A and B are shown apart, each in its own frame.
Chain A
Amino acid sequence: MRRRSVLQLAIAGAFLGALSLNTAYAADAIKIGAVGPKTGPLAGGAAVTHWPNFKLWATQVNARGGLKMKGGKRRKVEIIEYDDRTNPGETIKAVERLATRDKADFIAAPYGTGLTLASAPVFAKHGYPQIAVAAITDKVPELTKRYPGIFFTLGNTTAFADSVVSILLKMRADGTIGSNVAMVNVADAFGIELAESARPIFKKAGFNIVYDKSYPLGTQDLSTIVKGAKATNPDAFVAWSYPPDTFGLTAQAKIENFKVKAFYTAVATAFPVYAGKFGKSIEGVLGAGGVNPDSPAMKAYRAAHKKITGKTADYWASPVTYAALQTLGQAIEAVGSTDRKAVTAYLKKGTFKTVMGTWKFNNQVIDQFWTVGQWQKGVFYGVTSTGASGAKPVVAKTGW
């Protein structure tokens, strides 16, 4: 009896000791909450774009001693991660937990349009700024009005659809392609919105949509779709797709030797896995996103990303996620404290030096973003944007 109680006491003592060790470090650190999918349908995308950037940013900030506060003291950052399982209910719960129980100083925006929008009221209720990255919607104006603390950085739906049409317009004007377009979309919110946005724009530009079909999310066999599209003899193929159908459609197009001069698949075209799977066949494939990989800041970012996280960054939202963290860090340093109201006010009017260039929010929105990129010689270059610099000219696709 006595021995057991001594043992219990010892264990309890060690446990409390370990806890206090933690809190001794944590007492001084700035707590940044990070919510996102580690499991569930969006986990694959988040694993590439979302999670590695937290590790990268925190490691780099802490390597130089932390963020500089008013009075010269430096405070390190501590990332608190939660898996929301791609479930908006879980996202909301996690944000509440970070705000009320973990008492996080700041919370990063979730990954995914639906999850970001679902948790926006909770961010607003607790007064946390929400710098959204992986959230693309046309409702940006009304959202920024409703939530004074939300910021958008990746663009809106119409711009993405519009850019694809403008590329095809230019290719048609150059005589590279004709007017027939085959368009497919995944039957999920993003794919449906893009398709609906694109249809009138195509029509107005004088294109004929000769194949216009949607397929359920998670369809494993895309051969019927590609064969159907090929049979209509289009000049361009546009797919508003998600991973894994982006991969499936490309694989099928390769097998069918689908000869189109313009081939576009939406999400995941910019992922390193895409290049890894298809090798040289990706030359000329268009996709959502893009970066200017030649800028020195981008080169340094990609090298550091590979070194610290062991993974290759994608060519779209990865650097934007990092830029959002840079922005938050610079705002905290400019204000000199973790006063959320002051930081939010500074975010609205400050100018920030980021890996994506100079950022200044215009009504809580970053107006300059890349919309379409193209694989050229193994690098996914940005070819169209809404005002970013460094766009490369588009090349025609010549076979697989």
Chain B
Amino acid sequence: MEILTIGLLLGATYALIAMGLNLQYGVARIMNLANGEMLVAGAFGAFWVFTAQKVSPYVALLFVVPAAFGLNWLIYRTLLRPLVRRAKNRGMLEVDSILATFGMSFVFVGIMLMAFGGDYFSYSYLAEPFVIFGSPYGLNKVVAFVAAAAICGLLYLGLNKTRTGMAIRAVAVDPAAAGLAGIDVPKMSTFAFALGGAVTAGGGIMLSTFLTLDASIGVVFTMKALIIVIMGGVGDVRGAIIASLILGLAETAVASLIDPGLTLAAAYLLFVLVLLFRPQGLFGRRPS
């Protein structure tokens, strides 16, 4: 029972890390390697709000999320749109975007280093025990779980029940065909990229309540998000959710029942197995 709860809480953490990249890669086709830095930037916002302004870090959601939306919108328009226009096919765009966002991640780390310094930043918020089925868990992790569920739920509903959502899903399936159907593909891609960045920054705020971060740690989160997005399959929000939960549960089960030292090995083994037997990911579409 404990394994289940811990695994689900961990899965929620992973979902917060991966959701944004899922949108950016699935719809805008940008493999954003600077995703982790956006997460850390959001976390910095929460840290600043909590330590300097002495209010709940969740208040940071009010201004960090719109700011991240705007910033990512700008980045897509100025840095990435030229790559999209130039790319002759999807493979070329992926390579170009990987290189461009890789460089971008260094720029972001440098900016954060200048702005906040290189120290670790960490604070305790809602670190009280919250009892589930007789065992204590961090209240901040439970809140993160609820937030992750809310974000995933909202995204799923938004993508499947609204017209804009349908347009976004169409672009994810086939940008060329979507363009022919009258959908403004550049506008939808920009919107999806910006939304992905905002979700990542929001996730960073939730995670900062219990994780210790510094300006350089973004790459660790990018790696995790990459695995989850590829495992879950590109283009479907459900894939990322299921992959996050599976990964969280698997890692916790291995740590509790076998050995905590094998969590990384288990995660990557799962990744390799999924790629071997279902290379398009759990919910992905086989390329035609």
Contact = CB atoms under 8 A, between A and B. Distances in A.
Contact of A248 (B3, B118, B212, B256): B212
Contacts of B9: 221, 223
B107 to A, nearest CB: 12
A311 to B, nearest CB: 8
A41 interface: yes
A31 interface: no
Interface stretch (B25-33, B258-266, B271-279): B258-266
Given A251-B127, A273-B120, A273-B122, A219 B137 contact: no
A221 B118 contact: no
B122 A247 contact: yes
Contact of A213 (B117, B121, B259): B259
A44 B124 contact: no
Interface stretch (B78-86, B145-153, B191-199, B213-221): B213-221
A216 B260 CA distance: 8
Nearest to A245: B212
Interface stretch (A254-262, A319-327, A338-346): A254-262
B129 A251 contact: no
B263 A243 contact: no
B171 interface: no
A31 B142 CA distance: 53
Given A247-B212, A277-B123, A38 B118 contact: yes
Interface string B170-200: 0000000000000000000000000000000
Interface string B128-147: 11000001111000000000
A244 B213 contact: yes
B251 interface: yes
Given A214-B261, A221-B6, A44 B120 contact: yes
Main DSSP-derived SS at the B contact region: mixed
Nearest to A219: B263
A243 B214 CA distance: 10
A47 B136 contact: no
B212 A243 contact: yes
Interface in A239-285: 243-244, 247-248, 251-252, 254-257, 268, 271, 273, 276-279
A223 B137 contact: yes
Instruction: Please classify how large the interface on chain B is, using the bins under 10, 10 to 19, 20 to 34, 35 or more.
Output: 35 or more
B211 interface: yes
Nearest to B248: A221
A244 B213 CA distance: 7
Nearest to A247: B212
A65 interface: no
Interface in A27-86: 37-41, 43-48, 51, 86
B263 A220 contact: no
Contacts of B119: 44, 47-48, 273, 311
Nearest to A39: B216
Nearest to B110: A39
A379 interface: no
B210 A251 contact: yes
Interface stretch (A175-183, A224-232, A351-359): A224-232
B211 A244 contact: yes
A38 B122 CA distance: 18
A182 to B, nearest CB: 12
B252 interface: yes
A349 to B, nearest CB: 37
A218 B267 CA distance: 13
A187 interface: yes
B263 A216 contact: yes
Interface string B67-79: 0000000000000
B65 interface: no
Contact of B13 (A44, A187, A220): A220
A215 interface: yes
A216 B252 contact: no
Nearest to B10: A221
B226 to A, nearest CB: 15
A256 B6 CA distance: 13
B94 interface: no
Contacts of A43: 113, 118, 214-216
17 contacts: A39-B216, A44-B217, A47-B118, A47-B214, A219-B263, A220-B10, A221-B10, A221-B13, A221-B252, A227-B2, A227-B6, A243-B120, A248-B211, A251-B210, A254-B127, A256-B129, A273-B212
Given A43-B215, A278-B124, 9 more contacts: A39-B109, A216-B261, A216-B263, A219-B260, A223-B137, A227-B256, A255-B128, A273-B119, A276-B122
Q: Which 4 A-B pairs have the closest CB atoms?
A: A244-B212, A47-B118, A44-B214, A44-B120
